[in-house]
Amino acid sequence: MGGAGVPLRELGLVLLVAAAITYLATGMVRSLLVRTGRVAEIRTRDVHTQPTPSLGGLAMFTGFICAVFLAQQLPALTRGFAPVTPEMTAVVAGAFAIVVVGIIDDLYELGALTKFIGQCFAAVLMSFLGLTFTVVFAPFGDGTTLILDQVQGMMIAALFTVVLVNAVNFVDGIDGLAAGIGMIAGGAILLYSLTILHDQGGAVSAYPPAIICAALVGICAGFLPHNFEPARIFMGDSGAMLIGLLLAAASISASGKINMSLYGTADFVALISPVVVVLAAVALPLTDLVWAVVRRAARGQSPTTADAGHIHHRLLALGHTHRRTVLVLYLWVSAVAFGAVSFSIVPTGPATALTAAALLLACALTLVPLRSGKIGRRGAR
């Protein structure tokens, strides 16, 4: 153990195995797709110039399943699995369903409605099998606790999952962006889960989000070397939707089942941190999703209509290079997500100062590009 009730070595092993298997599997999937001619042709809305395989989600799911299987065999992590808790079973089932939908879409281009129905099925399946909101700690008053019944918890969890799946899918428009955001956001929730494990002496409720996030960070880290500009393979909808579902699963688990009675009322920021951390970790993809829907609705277009108005397109238009655009967005996500986590780890004063400094740095780098940019390799979503 890395600390009282904190299985750091085991979670680290899960992360490394997820990364290694995803890295190797991605190379094999790419080779198979190239040999069989299964590469994404250039579409009118795309800006990459070479046909590129687009089924990286299959390799990512392989790494995730292997990592979860390993975690189930490790004595220090078995408390995160059935019969103690059904959450990991629910996550695996939901992940399988969303990846199947994504693979079919990557190969045959499903219609927007059909894909949405598939997303809803995966989200409802995951919530029905046991991954739901049960308790919500509201960020107002004196830390009001909202108790949800089973139907309410399932509906809210399924809705949250579908929104986040689409948010990550929308933001997957430039090489390395979705994988990097998934890795950073997953890392922030993982750090928060480790804090809860430490503070609560190994609370069972913190095991599933820690395992999910360790595997998520690993598969994103393993895929990123193949996907960072210039990408040799895209994750496709199968990968982007998988990241969104896993972030939603970790968020639901981390925010709904933490024993806040162990915290004093003086630590109000820590009391609301499950909500704050979750929202902060997914702030960029959610903002981009909302912005896209509002923008397209104002033009009288369908929310699923592709355009070039996403955040990364705006940064490219400012003159950032492809890689610098991705790195600037990484910094924004890191500043917001880890800034939120810091409030539950260090005193409020230092946490505020560190977060403010990171946000100011992100602003400076956003507004002052070093040199003229070039068009990204992925099309708009």
Predicted local confidence at residue 308, as pLDDT: 67
Predicted local confidence at residue 117, as pLDDT: 97
> What string of DSSP letters covers 5-74?
TB-HHHHHHHHHHHHHHHHHHHHHHHHHHHHHT--BPPPTT----S-B---HHHHHHHHHHHHHHHHHHS
Residue 372 has pLDDT above 70, yes or no: no
Kindly report, residue by residue over 73-126, the tens digit of the pLDDT.
999 999 899 888 899 999 999 999 999 999 999 988 899 899 999 999 999 999
- Does this model's pTM top 0.75? yes
- Is omega for the bond preceding 83 within 30 degrees of 0, making it cis? yes
Kindly report, residue by residue over 302-344, the tens digit of the pLDDT.
776 766 677 777 777 777 777 888 888 888 888 888 888 887 7
Distance CA 164, CA 243 (A): 9
Distance CA 273, CA 255 (A): 8
DSSP H helical ranges for 236-321: 236-256, 268-281, 283-298, 311-318
Please report how the helices 8-36 and 207-227 are oriented relative to each other, as an axis angle in degrees rounded to 10.
40
- Region of poorest pLDDT, from 5-14, 200-209, 247-256: 200-209
Predicted local confidence at residue 265, as pLDDT: 43
Residue 264 has pLDDT above 60, yes or no: no
Q: Does 259 carry a binding-site annotation?
A: no
pLDDT band at 293 (very low <50, low <70, confident <90, very high): confident
Q: Does 199 carry a binding-site annotation?
A: no
Please tell me what DSSP assigns to residue 143.
T
Task: Indicate the residue type of 60.
Answer: M
pLDDT band at 363 (very low <50, low <70, confident <90, very high): confident
Distance CA 319, CA 367 (A): 10
Strands 135-137 and 145-147, by their bridges, are: antiparallel
Average pLDDT, the chain: 82
Please tell me what DSSP assigns to residue 87.
H
Helix, strand and coil percent figures for the chain, each rounded to 5 = 70, 5, 30
Based on the number of CB atoms within 10 Å of its own CB, is 95 exposed (0-12), middle (13-18) or buried (19 or more)? buried
